[in-house]
Amino acid sequence: MSLTPKLQAFKTFATQAWALTKPYFQSEQKWKARGLLLAIVALNLGLVYMAVLFNDWNKLFYDALQEKNATVFWAQLGRFTYLAFAFIIIAVYKFYLTQLLELRWRAWMTGHYLQRWLANHAFYKLELARFTAKPNTDKGNPDNPDQRIQEDINQFTGYTISLTMGLLNAVVTLASFVGILWGLSGGFAFSFLGSAYNIPGFMVWMALLYCLAGSILTHYIGRPQIKLNFEQQRYEADFRHHMVRVREYSESIALDKGETVERVQLDLRFSRLLGNYLALIKAQKNLIWFTSFFGQAAVVFPFVVAAPRFFSGAIQLGELMQISSAFGQVQGALSWFVDSYSSLASWRATTDRLTSFEASFTALAPDGIAQPATNSVALEARDLTLALPDGVVLLAGAALHAKPGDSVLLQGPSGSGKSTLFRALAGIWPFASGTLERPADAMFIPQRPYFPNGPLRDALAYPETASSYTDAQLRQALTDALLPQLTEQLDLADAWSQKLSGGEQQRLAIARVLLKKPTWVFADEATSALDETAESTVYKRLLALVNTAQGAIISIAHRPTVAAFHSQRWELEKLPDGAPALYKLVEKRS
């Protein structure tokens, strides 16, 4: 028999949640994780057992009040003291161990996803995937991976543990109290069409019907929260991300006087956030209307049903209070779905976001060129084909060759794929195919170099540790790159991408090269922000570096002054319409 669509959707969700949960409990930390989980389960069971003891205490204590039996009253008050003390100890350690498990689980999942995000250039490919993904979809294009790793994992671990333990507590509580309530509630006798009937355990059946109706209504009233929670996390992350971009590009925005445009963009994102949040509040308000009524009615319901037996003298006050307590426990256990629906909706949204993030790694474009063979002393590319993320072919079947001692200038029209070719030579462009061999000791200088925030020595040595070099080596590299004013600021921590001018950033990137002394250098517009004198000085030093190391330099540049430092040219020339690619690569001697 085929599953109904809703049951199939629940099965799919459960499979997704288990797929996200299982790795941690099967990881290298599995014994600690399982041990903590078992301890938390035991403490939850202990709390249920304490509830059973409190239920028994209710009968004895309130019977003593009704009978004005001071001896039993004080004895039960003393018993309450140690019961309460035991309950407090269990509750405290249940909280502590639960938080500890959440912390360790979050730490493991964060490390796991950081490793996957940073491995094999996945973080770079996910950004490229934005060019091919359809708007407002997650396929191959997870929005804000940083938010998914930082916030969604935190919410997923917290909700998974709290909801699972809550469900366990509800099941055990139901199993513990349903027998008590059955025995206390007695039968319900009535006549119908001249026949007498008796329903044993009447209050158990009433609790079941009460909670079943409440659960069904809760689902239909609260169902919109699932999508709204998903979208709320997206809009929050988009708003935060745009503010980060304004901070990162503060100088450019200020020079362009773009504050008004940025305010409009931020207002647009914030209005989406507020609009969705308002819809979420309204959905939660509708659910609270119902759950509040549901909960308040449950308080008086057992008294209404049991009152006739109490007033007839069939039961005493203690038994009435015991019935109320037992009904409350059974009703509370059966109402777990009602009470937890908002959390379930948030958990569902978080699980969906993490699942789509997980799927995005599988959907990544495969490496067109495997990591270049680095056992060669020369650069050799055969049958090299480059394409854009949207599938447009830039270059088809090209061949490249450069040997030690060469100095090659790559030129072509703007947008012809010069930087894309460099990315392919570096082995990071996924939309490429062919065979590539390249010397291992090579460094690439991108158009926009990256500098981590922190001490200048770390920005200079990146991605290596600054401790790999002496202060004298670091200062010499800065001096050779025409940054003598920074030689005494090695321990100054700052946001160097914002503090330094464009020309200073380019010189700092060149200082890295001069510090590490690679054999081969690939420079992509590495001196475009420098004046001709500075450009000439640093290029002479780069050429001296690679010549001493018996390597080569390959540059992208438009200035004629840079061409003077190169003996060979690779030119990308436009092909006619209908050709297999947009450009062809032509090798020329300068």
pLDDT in tens, 424-463: 998 888 889 999 999 989 999 998 899 988 999 999 999 9
Q: Which of 453, 475, 477, 496 is nearest to 538 (CA)?
A: 477
- The pair phi, psi for residue 440, each rounded to 5°, is -70, -40
* 347 in Cβ contact with 354 (< 8 Å): no
Q: What is the pLDDT of residues 387-426, one digit of tens each?
A: 988 888 999 989 999 999 999 999 999 888 999 999 999 8
**Amino acid in the structure at residue 186:** G
Which of 71-80, 120-129, 142-151, 519-528 has maximum average pLDDT? 519-528
**Measured CA angle at 203 (ends 200, 207), to 5 deg:** 130
Q: Which of 459, 447, 443 is nearest to 527 (CA)?
A: 447
Mapped onto helix, strand or coil, the DSSP state of residue 405 is coil
Structure tokens at 401: 């060759």
Question: Average pLDDT, whole number, for the chain?
Answer: 85
**Amino acid in the structure at residue 32:** K
For 247-312, the DSSP string reads HHTHHHHHHHT-HHHHHHHHHHHHHHHHHHHHHHHHHHHHHHHHHHHHHHHHHHHHHHHHHHHHHT
Report the pLDDT value the prediction gives residue 1, as an integer from 0 to 100: 40
Mean pLDDT of 74-97: 91
CATH 1.20.1600.10, domain 375-589, yes or no: no
Determine what percent of the chain is predicted with pLDDT higher than 70: 92
- How many CB atoms lie under 10 A from the CB of residue 361? 16
* Fold match between domain 20-362 and domain 375-589: no
Report the pLDDT value the prediction gives residue 138, as an integer from 0 to 100: 47
Report the pLDDT value the prediction gives residue 194, as an integer from 0 to 100: 66
Is the preceding peptide bond at 224 cis, omega within 30 degrees of 0?
no
d(CA 20, CA 6): 21
**Amino acid in the structure at residue 254:** A
Residue in this structure with the two tokens 């925005």, named with its chain if needed: 253
Highest CATH level, class, for 20-362 = mainly alpha
Between 280 and 34, the more confident residue is 34
Structure tokens at 514: 């001069």
- Pairing type for strands 375-387 and 568-574 reads unpaired
Mean pLDDT of 496-504: 89
Q: Which of 524, 586, 509 is nearest to 554 (CA)?
A: 524
Between 110-114, 125-129, 140-144, 526-530, the lowest mean confidence (pLDDT) is in 140-144
Which of 136-145, 233-242, 472-481 has maximum average pLDDT? 472-481
* For the chain, domain boundaries: 20-362, 375-589
d(CA 51, CA 66): 22
Report the pLDDT value the prediction gives residue 371, as an integer from 0 to 100: 61
Q: Which residues, other chains included, contact 74 with Cβ-Cβ below 8 Å and sequence gap of 6+?
A: none
Residue in this structure with the two tokens 């070719």, named with its chain if needed: 421
Q: What is the pLDDT of residues 170-192, one digit of tens each?
A: 888 888 877 777 777 766 666 66
Report the pLDDT value the prediction gives residue 140, as an integer from 0 to 100: 46
Between 318 and 482, the more confident residue is 482
Helix (H) or strand (E) holding 155: helix 153-185
Percent of the chain as helix, strand, coil, to the nearest 5: 65, 15, 20
Inter-residue long-range contacts of 95-102, CB under 8 Å, 24+ positions, other chains counted: 97/36, 97/39, 97/40, 97/43, 98/40, 98/161, 98/162, 98/165, 100/36, 101/33, 101/36, 101/37, 101/40, 101/161, 102/157, 102/158, 102/161
Structure tokens at 293: 């009524």
Q: What is the pLDDT of residues 534-570, one digit of tens each?
A: 999 999 999 999 999 999 999 999 888 899 999 999 9
Q: Which residues, other chains included, contact 418 with Cβ-Cβ below 8 Å and sequence gap of 6+?
A: 410, 411, 412, 524, 556, 572
Structure tokens at 226: 């699932």
* 202 in Cβ contact with 188 (< 8 Å): yes
Between 309 and 553, the more confident residue is 553
Residue in this structure with the two tokens 């979809």, named with its chain if needed: 137
**Amino acid in the structure at residue 7:** L
